[in-house]
Structure 1
């Protein structure tokens, strides 16, 4: 497997020289300064690739080439946006960058309520707290219909939280929820978020699936022509939030996506943390189900609570059997090697990580500290080496 590291370019306080000391050889990055829907120029792609190669890295995966919200909503004439997306793909492929991770989550990317939740032994982690999220939806956004999305017990606790929360605590919660898109241009206050949500009025699961299928039909033939691999990232969290449907949350969802446009270019980013936050998901079993379409892997772990809350666990702890999952990925690599596939090696990165030691107090991109991820990479490297010699 290809050991990789997500790097946020000019938005990242971690330097490439520091990343080099982790032992990773591949970089997962994007051009985060370019507004969604605009073409990524050849010159900008070439400059980023040269920047990475100067430090000894390969640009192994683009994460992400974002999809404009109008495409997700199916809003108006989309021909220009699709053309721009295809041109960006061509410009990346021309520089030898041929794997694109993306997501089809409406409006928000990954969502957490706490960016620095304490963990035993010291340090902090990302957390999604169902009570605080319900408080945000029901009381801060005024979405009374959200009461149907949470248990009565959670709703009661959410009301109590809202009553005792200070203005600073409420603002902190909004900041946390808005922090899942480093480098993105859209940040919302409460009224702005309400307006953005109204743009999705009437878009249910079926409508979002139809819009996603249209995206695949527009993009996957180009990926085939360019020899590229597209790999969708699962929803995070894998549940409807803010009244918005989520359609990449389970093995059934992934099967639908693979069948919607049946092509090797239409693949999956196997994110063990996103899938693992859904209590019905058996992550190693899902990986085995879609193994031949896994083009990239995010390896992380979560620990779930009965009320729907979850938090980031250490990479080998939590609720997902990481050893069993890595066995699936290594078996798929062996199968690909045997049949002579040119993409036999699966790039992976240690996703998220606890802030610990010298991470604490550093202005990290939320969820992406240096020491916590290096610890995760070292642990995953050990599992991979041990299984390879079993």
Structure 2
């Protein structure tokens, strides 16, 4: 696999040179300062390439070109936004980009209740606490009809939690849950979040899935023509939130998307952390069965705190948690071997060590939550070790 590293641009407190020293060969980045729905200007794309080259690496993957809420709901200026999204693909392809990641999660991107939760050995990690999230939904956001979405026992526990919340905890939950895309300045106040949720009235999972298919039917042919692979990131966490449908949480969800628009350019970002939050997702089997359409890989691990879906979970060390990372990497390496034999230009699948725990000097650096320097370096080293061992064993056989 091609080892990459997410970089949020010049504001990132982890530099491109840091990424190179950690062992990355390429960078995953985006133009977070461009408004969602607008075309990315060619000079800004060129500037990002130059910034990355100045640090000694190259820009391999865009993560992400945001899909606007107007596109997801097919309201407002959605037609112009689709056209702008397609034009951005053309400009990225002209600059040499061949892989573009995006997501189709309504309103909220990845959602956590805690961005720097203290682990057993003093590291800091991101966490999703289910009762705290329900307390936010029912008692802070006060979403109409929200109580019907939860079992009585969970709602009761959420009420007990809320009764013990301090003003600081209430404010933290609002900030953490209402945060926008990683690296962006977007986010929602409680009133803005309520307004956004209202735009999804009448949009269930089937309708949202149709909107995704319609979007892909327009942009995938453009991606094919310019030689770009598109890859949809899974829902994170992989279940409905705040009454919103989520449609990329399971293998069946992905199969429906891939079958609806069967071009190879329509593919998957295989994120083991997002998908791994569901105990019924068999990640090694999914990696093997979806392999031909996996264009980008995020490798991280989570520990689920219950066997149910949904559940509380936290982001564990890369080789801990519930995912058999050795089996997942073996499936991906087998796919790369098949691609090389077939002469595919995309035989080397870009991978990045996703997220990471803040350890050692990370604890005072103040980097983007989930994207520390040393925690990701450690994860990348462990993942590279697995890959090297499996590759050596395969060559020896």
- TM-score in same-fold range (> 0.5): yes
Number of residues of Structure 1 aligned to a counterpart in Structure 2: 390
Q: Tell me, what secondary structure is at the counterpart of 2:10?
A: helix
* Matched residue, 1:388: 391
Q: 1:263 to 1:376 in 2, by over 3 A?
A: same
Partner of 1:79: 79
Partner Cα distance (1:197, 1:78) in 2: 17
Deviations 1:267-308 (A, max 9, x none): 000000100001210011111111000000000000002261
Gaps of 5+ in 2: none
Aligned equivalent of 2:349, options 339, 346, 351? 346
Query: Aligned equivalents of 2:175 and 2:334: distance in 1?
Result: 41
Matches within 5 A, 1:312-351: 312-351=315-354
**Aligned 1:335-374 pairs, distance under 5 A:** 335-374=338-377
CA distance in 1, matches of 2:130, 2:77: 38
Residue 158 of structure 1 corresponds to: 158
Secondary structure of the 2:145 match is helix
Per the alignment, in what secondary structure is the counterpart of residue 179 of structure 2? helix
Query: Is the Cα–Cα contact under 8 Å of residues 251 and 286 in structure 2 kept in the other structure?
Result: yes
In 1, Cα distance between the equivalents of 2:287 and 2:357?
Answer: 25
Q: Which segment drifts farther, 242-251 or 201-210?
A: 201-210
Give the corresponding residue for 2:141: 141
TM-score by length of 1: 0.98
Instruction: Please show how residues 66-145 of structure 1 align to structure 2 within 5 Å.
Output: 66-76=66-76, 78-143=78-143, 145=145
Q: Which residue of 1 aligns with 2:379?
A: 376
Distance 1:77 1:176 in 2: 28
Distance 1:290 1:29 in 2: 25
Aligned residue in 2 for 1:267? 267
Q: Is the 8 A contact 1:5 1:19 kept in 2?
A: yes
Distance 2:260 2:61 in 1: 23
The Cα of 1:257 is off from its aligned counterpart by 0.6
Q: CA deviation at 1:106?
A: 0.5
- Cα distance in structure 2, aligned partners of 1:234 and 1:151: 25
Per-residue CA deviation, residues 168-204 of structure 1 (Å, 9 max, x unaligned), is: 1100111111335234343222122111111111111
Equivalent pair of 1:35/1:185 in contact (CA under 8 Å): no
Q: Is the 1:35–1:184 Cα contact (8 Å) retained in structure 2?
A: no
Task: Give the distance between the partners of 1:14 and 1:345, measured in 2 at CA.
Answer: 25
2:71/2:79 contact within 8 Å kept: no
Alignment match, 1:53: 53
1:7 is aligned to 2:7: yes
Q: d(CA) in 1 for partners of 2:294 and 2:260?
A: 16
Distance in 2 separating the partners of 1:250 and 1:18? 35
Bigger Cα displacement from structure 2, 146-155 vs 301-310: 146-155
Q: Is the 8 A contact 1:72 1:212 kept in 2?
A: yes
Deviations 1:150-178 (A, max 9, x none): 33322111101111111111001111113
CA distance in 2, matches of 1:346, 1:367: 23
Aligned-partner Cα distance in 2 for 1:277–1:337: 32
CA contact (8 A) 2:180 2:188 kept: no
CA distance in 2, matches of 1:133, 1:144: 15
Shift of residue 107 of structure 1? 0.8
Q: What SS is found at the alignment partner of 1:117?
A: strand
Superimposed CA distance per residue, residues 45-92 of structure 1 (whole angstroms, 9 cap, x where no aligned partner): 111112212222121110000111100011145321111111110110
TM-score calculated relative to the size of structure 2: 0.96
Q: Is the Cα contact below 8 Å between 1:273 and 1:300 reproduced in 2?
A: yes
1:148 and 1:273 mapped to 2: Cα distance? 28
Query: Which segments of 5 or more consecutive residues in structure 1 lack a partner in the other structure?
Result: none
Q: Map of 1:147-296 to 2, 5 A cutoff?
A: 147-296=147-296
Partner Cα distance (1:135, 1:221) in 2: 44
Tell me how far apart the structure 1 counterparts of residues 287 and 280 of structure 2 sit (CA, whole Å): 14
1:25/1:56 contact within 8 Å kept: no
Partners in 1 of 2:178 and 2:378 — Cα distance?
A: 27
